[in-house]
Every structure is written in structure tokens, then in C-alpha cells.
Amino acid sequence: MPRFAANLTMLFTEVPSLHRPELAAQAGFDGAEILFPYDHAEAEWEKALAGLPLALINTPPGHWAAGDRGFAAVPGEEERFRSGFLRAAGLATRLGAERVHVMAGVAKGPLAEQVYRENLAWAAQQAPGLRLTVEPINPDDMPGYFLNDFDQAARILEDLNLPQIGMQFDVWHAARIHGNANAVWAAHRARVSHVQIAGFPSRNEPGGGGFDLPALCAELDAVGGDVWISAEYRPARATVHGLMWLQALKARHRPIGA
């Protein structure tokens, strides 16, 4: 059965961050992801999660309001990236996070790609027991972000040839970048190690937009493995009032007799 995680940065925002894991568990989510869990102490997150599995965290983005979006591909910021990565890796280990998304940052050009490759290889060496991910992000939501194309991400991963590093498949970004999220999934699913879902074109509750979400769930259910399906969307109303999609998908894949 697929595992569903709640993105606690975007869901259950009706309550403070440290109260969201409890609501996610009560709502039927199997785990959580937290984009930037750096505003609270590790011990506070441990207590708040209370055993709820943590699927993914991001590397520190830097000064978000000033335009920072990570540093893995930013020439001249190698030390800043590496310090931030070690912090993320340590936190992931403490909280049991299964993956760390390595944020590329705002950059472009051949030098940025060289820096990105070198930093990814370095990160994999520093934390050999930790799964890493990269995520193409559409340029409307994140102008100037280095990794903004799924084919680009696949090429870099193929060249690095590091099984430890996988691709995040975000339905929203795939549709915004390439127009057809189903085609992106078909082309790159072999490299995907983490899935994020949202409705399209509104980025509200998952569903619509022509993407076959039940088929994706069925495929992941059939092949097994440890890929999480994370709900990363903007609830149209209070989060708990818009979870029919979760109930429907879990009922569809519930083992007989469960």
C-alpha cells in the first residue's frame, strides 16, 4: 500500500508547526515531510513527531526573503552549501528523515552545473547512508532556480551515476514545466524516489488537471519499495475539511480484510 505523507509546511497551517504532526496522524497520514525544520530545536521536533515517520526535509535555503533558494549550484557559495548540508544531514539522522532534498539555488550556466555536480557528489560522500533528492522547480514559482527541467535533472543524475541520489517528482512542477505531468512521470519514473502531489492548475487538493493519480498509486503499490507520496498543496479551506482524496486513495489500496 502506498505511504502518504503530509507536507507540514503547507498543510495544517491552522495550528502552530509543532502541533501539525499530531493532526496529520489523526487525519490518516502515514508520515510527514517538513521543508525547513530549522526554526525549532531537534528535541522539540522529536517530541512533536512522537514516532510519526519523517519522509523528507530540505537543505537550508538561506535568507528566503532576500531571494536565497539553497546553494548547491551557486558558484562561490560552496562552503555555505556544505555547512548547510551537514546541518541537514545531522538533523535528518536525529529525526529519522528518510531523504534530504538538496536545494540547488538561483544560478545558471555551465559553471553553476559544474558546481552543482561537485556538491552533489561531495554530499553523497559525506552522508553515504542518507538518501538524497533533487527537484526540478518551475520558473514561475521560483524565478532563476538552477534546476528547472526534468530532462536536465535526469541528465545530471545519469552522468553522476550515484544510486543514492534520486529525483523528486512533483505533479505541480511537472505540469507547469512540461505541460503534461503524465508524460514526465512515464519518462522519468525509474529515477523517482519521492513523489509530491497537488491539484492542477490551482495547487489545491490533489486531483484534476488530467494527471492519473490513482494509476500512479497503483503502480507504486505494485512495485513496492519505499517511495513516499507527499501532499504538498495549498488547502482551499481548513486542511481537515479537504481530505476526501486521501480517504479515497487509501480505501482503494487497502488490503483485503484490513
Q: Would you say residue 126 has pLDDT above 90?
A: yes
Which DSSP string corresponds to 32-49?
EEES-TTSS-HHHHHHHH
What lies within 8 Å, CB to CB, of 52 at 6+ separation is 21, 24, 25, 29, 31, 32
* Polymer length in residues for the chain: 258
Instruction: Please check whether residue 39 lies inside any domain of the structure.
Output: yes
Q: Would you say residue 256 has pLDDT above 90?
A: no
Respond yes or no: is residue 232 known to be catalytic: yes
Residue of 33, 77, 135, 205 marked active site: 135
Instruction: Please check whether residue 159 lies inside any domain of the structure.
Output: yes
Instruction: Please check whether residue 214 lies inside any domain of the structure.
Output: yes
Instruction: Please check whether residue 224 lies inside any domain of the structure.
Output: yes
What DSSP designation does 5 have?
E
55-59, 228-232, 238-242, 247-251, range with the lowest pLDDT: 247-251
Q: Would you say residue 235 has pLDDT above 90?
A: yes
Q: How far apart are the C-alpha atoms of 196 and 124, rounded to whole Å? A: 23
Respond yes or no: is residue 158 known to be catalytic: no
What is the pLDDT averaged over residues 138-152? 97
**How far, rounded to the nearest angstrom, does the alpha carbon of residue 88 sit from its chain's CA centroid?**
14
Query: What pLDDT is recorded for position 255?
Result: 58
Query: What pLDDT is recorded for position 223?
Result: 79
Instruction: Please check whether residue 201 lies inside any domain of the structure.
Output: yes
| Percent of the chain with pLDDT strictly greater than 90 | 91
**8 falls in which pLDDT band (50, 70, 90)?**
very high
Instruction: Please check whether residue 258 lies inside any domain of the structure.
Output: no
**209 falls in which pLDDT band (50, 70, 90)?**
confident
Query: What pLDDT is recorded for position 208?
Result: 80
What is the pLDDT averaged over residues 2-11? 96
What is the pLDDT averaged over residues 96-101? 97
pTM value? Answer: 0.95
Average pLDDT of the chain?
Answer: 95
What is the pLDDT averaged over residues 208-225? 87
Q: Would you say residue 257 has pLDDT above 60?
A: no
| Residue span of the structural domain in which 158 resides | 3-252
**CA-to-CA dists, residue 62 to 66, 73, 248, angstroms:** 9, 13, 38
Instruction: Please check whether residue 257 lies inside any domain of the structure.
Output: no
Q: How many domains does the chain have?
A: 1
Query: What pLDDT is recorded for position 252?
Result: 81
CATH number at residue 196: 3.20.20.150
Is 176:140 a contact under the CB 8 Å cutoff? yes
What is the pLDDT averaged over residues 39-65? 97
Instruction: Please check whether residue 188 lies inside any domain of the structure.
Output: yes
